[in-house]
Amino acid sequence: MPPRRCGQTSEVASDEVHDPGRRFKLVSNRVDESLELAIAGELDMAATFKLEPELDRLLDAPDLRRLECDLAGVSFVDSAGLGLLLALRERAQDRGIAMTVVSTSTPLRRILDVSGIGAVLTAGEAQSHRG
């Protein structure tokens, strides 16, 4: 029997008043006990406020054991975005979900390396980096 797949795509615009050009995209796909997340665009404070409740809802799914995050499409991240990534890892751990970062963009990788957060997010993980 093939794995059960159910995907959900969420696209949310940032606060139009703040900066109408900023956008991010969250794509999620549930396969058995795994959740695949792809986050693209600008991971700033406005995006963080809109992403947090959606991520909590996704993590609350029954029988979820693994979370794979593809961050190759992240073009910008600020301190709020870094905080979101750390909070996502903590929330996953609190629920007994193993989180893996499978890919990061070059701009995000630079920030993760300089801040030291990359070691926390990716401890023991093999990953690819995309420009």
The yes/no answer on whether domain 5-130 falls in CATH 3.40.605.10 is no
What average pLDDT does the structure give for the chain?
Answer: 80
Please write the tens of the pLDDT for every residue from 33-61: 999 999 999 999 989 999 999 999 999 99
Residue 128 burial (C-beta neighbours within 10 Å; 0-12, 13-18, 19+): exposed
Whether 128 shows a pLDDT value over 50: the answer reads no
Q: Which residue has the tokens 């795994």?
A: 34
Residue 63 burial (C-beta neighbours within 10 Å; 0-12, 13-18, 19+): exposed
- 66 three-state secondary structure: strand
User: Residue 14 phi/psi, 5° resolution?
Assistant: -70, 175
Please report, rounded to a whole number, the percentage of residues in the chain having pLDDT higher than 70.
Answer: 76
- 95 three-state secondary structure: coil
For the full predicted model, state whether its pTM sits above 0.75: yes
Please write the tens of the pLDDT for every residue from 111-123: 999 999 988 887 5
What pLDDT is attached to residue 24?
A: 86
| Domain parsing of the chain, residue ranges | 5-130
